[in-house]
Amino acid sequence: MPGPYILAFDQGTTSSRALLFDRTGAVVASAQKEFRQIYPHPGWVEHDPREIWSTQAGVAAEALTRAHAGGRDIAAIGITNQRETTIVWDRRTGEPVYNAIVWQDRRTADFCDQLKARGAEALVRERTGLIVDAYFSGSKIRWILDNVPGARALAVAGHLAFGTVDTWLAWHLSAGKLHVTDVSNASRTMLFNIHTLDWDDELLALLDIPRLMLPTVRSSSEVYGHTTTQWLSANVPIAGIAGDQQAALFGQLCLQPGMVKNTYGTGCFMVMNTGGAPQMSGHNLLTTVAWKIGERVDYALEGSIFIGGAVVQWLRDGLGIIRHSRDVEALATTVPDAGGVVLVPAFAGLGAPHWQPRARGTLFGVTRGTTSAHIARAALDSIAFQTLDVLRAMEADAGLHVSELRVDGGAAANDLLMQWQADLLGSDVVRPNVIETTALGAAYLAGLAVGYWPDLAALQDQWQLQRRFVRQLPHEAVDAAVKSWQRAIRAAKAWAED
């Protein structure tokens, strides 16, 4: 029998987390550590790749200690990660040639505009399911090759490796033996053909990126290799990899076409399982690979919101109106509503379905009577409004009404936000017992690969309802609020375009 636990790495945008799961899908132990956010210029966001690894390794050791467990107690490791974040390192030394360029980073927006002007958008959309945008990894790799002295020559010589964060972690876990990614992460690079499930030579030529840099693309659930004994004192299988949003979809057991989840993390990401064929969006959503298990490939539609829970961090770190992120709900509930204040948190541009990279955060409706509580309420409201925009686009693409939205992520624990979300959508918002579904999805994928769970059917009964939120506000009140939001969005776009 495999060991009693699965260890999940959940490497996020602002923190590294490790969770141990048992066969019931319950969290046995966990640990978390935040790491630095580096802002060299306005619109630029970086991480130190060494800090990503050190914090991730540290929290894994901490979680094992809390469970009184060791490497031999781990049946497998699953990795889930912030996607699109780009790391390039020297294969010979393992040292990064530049900081990790984070998915939120907008430095390549002008280059992406040049690609659009050259007519590349149709090719990119058809091959990758994505739009041309600075969000994705491809233009970030290009920037490193063009701006780090000597990088391009090293890449052409085969000395540089590119990876998203999953690849970087697998490299370290295996002491440099593994240079791999899975189909879900590869599909977020703007370099991967989602039809052939391989890197696309025409796109690599378009961005002038040597294929030698790229990792081998594998399925989302298989044994890629093993850890080295110096790290866990055991050769533990590394057996599951999925980008964080695909992992959350899997952890929510949205295994049938038409099932939808929304993860409320640093950003918000809504994903709908569309089954075994890619469905192209007519409403500015992304088509992506959900996962590959054995020979089965599932695809998804996704709407990406750049600033979700990060708006609460801004209230804490930027404005100083709360001491801890968890304090926002108590502050916001001291007022009945936002008092006419509308916040568009476009701190890193607007994502789906608007895709305005130059938009910036804007606050409307402020009066002398506006308090910190109104701003806190408007910040929470903004998360729900952005989710509404994405869900309506998704319903239009799919040609169906989404009656139930499964939710997870840290902000899904906020009852005020979840109730407002149900009021806006007119759909049930359903929160499971385990809202750590991103890590759970990675654990499921790893566990399936090593026989810890025998098959998908064995997982189905593990999803348990914690609370269902249904609409309480009358349509008139909701419609008025939505009109104010739409007006604010139009104004934010006008500001960016003028």
User: CB of 216 within 8 A of CB of 163?
Assistant: no
Consult the annotation and say whether 288 binds a ligand: no
Distant-in-sequence, close-in-space partners of 22: CB < 8 Å, separation ≥ 6: 4, 5, 28
The answer to the question of whether 152 is labelled as a binding residue is: no
- Read off the DSSP letter of residue 403: -
Residue 133 assigned ligand-binding role = no
Residue 19 · residue 62 · CB < 8 Å = no
Between CA 361 and CA 363 the distance in angstroms is 7
Q: Residue 438 annotated as binding?
A: no
- Whether residue 104 is annotated as binding a ligand: the answer is no
The DSSP symbol for 460 reads G
165, 82 contact by CB (below 8 A) = yes
Question: Could you tell me how far CA 471 lies from the centroid of its own chain?
Answer: 27
Largest CA distance in the chain: 66
16 annotated to bind ligand: no
DSSP letters spanning 311-341: HHHIIIIII-S-SSGGGHHHHHTTSSS-TT-
Tell whether 406 is in a known binding site: no
92 annotated as ligand-binding: no
The answer to the question of whether 431 is labelled as a binding residue is no
Is 83 assigned to a binding site? yes
The DSSP bridge partners found for residue 198 are: 193
414 is in an annotated binding site: yes
309 among the known binding-site residues? yes
410 is in an annotated binding site: yes
C-beta atoms surrounding 141 within 10 Å: 29
Ligand-binding site membership of 419 (annotated): no
Give all strands (DSSP E) within 120-228, no chain letters.
160-163, 180-182, 192-193, 198-199, 216-218, 221-226
- The answer to whether the beta carbons of residues 396 and 301 sit under 8 Å apart is no
As annotated, the binding site for ADP includes 13, 17, 266, 309, 410, 414
As annotated, the binding site for sn-glycerol 3-phosphate includes 13, 83-84, 135, 244
As annotated, the binding site for ATP includes 13-15, 266, 309, 313, 410
As annotated, the binding site includes 13-15, 17, 83-84, 135, 244-245, 266, 309, 313, 410, 414
As annotated, the binding site for glycerol includes 83-84, 135, 244-245
